[in-house]
């Protein structure tokens, strides 16, 4: 972790499944910054926006929104390339026992 400088690209690989909910959420947040996964999330968001189902209820329009599905499953072997910003470095330090970080 000490050899990572802010602004560089790093490869984050999941080596062990997180044992607590907070680590799982942190790992999802970090891996969602991968441009490839982020593009998939944007495409899914556009599809969800198209399929909002408005209907009347009590004289008002209600919209049923489709919930987001996570593409990151936090399983061992999953990896992503992210830019090492200060917040990402802090997050990686908190989940270092579940991931392997190497310069990309």
**Which of 71, 74, 73, 70 lies closest to 16 in space, CA to CA?**
74
Looking at the domain assignment, is residue 3 inside a domain? no
Residue 2 lies in a domain: no
How far apart (Å, rounded) are the C-alpha atoms in residues 74 and 13?
Answer: 10
pTM of the entire structure?
0.84
4 falls within a domain: no
pLDDT band at 52 (very low <50, low <70, confident <90, very high): confident
Host domain of residue 77: 9-103
Is 26 part of a structural domain of the chain? Answer: yes
| Residue ranges with strand state E in 16-92 | 53-57, 60-64, 79-83
Question: Among 78, 75, 49, which residue's Cα sits nearest to residue 64?
Answer: 49
Give how many domains the chain has, as a whole number. Answer: 1
Write the pLDDT tens digit of every residue in 24-49.
999 999 999 999 999 999 999 999 99
């Amino acid at each position: 972790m000490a050899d990572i400088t802010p602004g560089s690209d790093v490869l984050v690989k999941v080596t062990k499944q997180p044992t607590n909910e907070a680590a799982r959420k942190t790992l999802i947040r970090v891996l969602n910054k991968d441009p490839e996964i982020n593009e998939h999330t944007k495409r899914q968001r556009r599809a969800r926006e198209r399929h909002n189902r408005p209907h009347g209820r009590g004289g008002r329009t209600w919209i049923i929104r489709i919930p987001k599905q996570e593409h990151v499953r936090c399983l061992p072997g999953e990896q992503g390339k992210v830019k090492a910003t200060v917040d990402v470095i802090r997050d990686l330090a908190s989940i270092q026992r579940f991931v392997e970080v190497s310069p990309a």
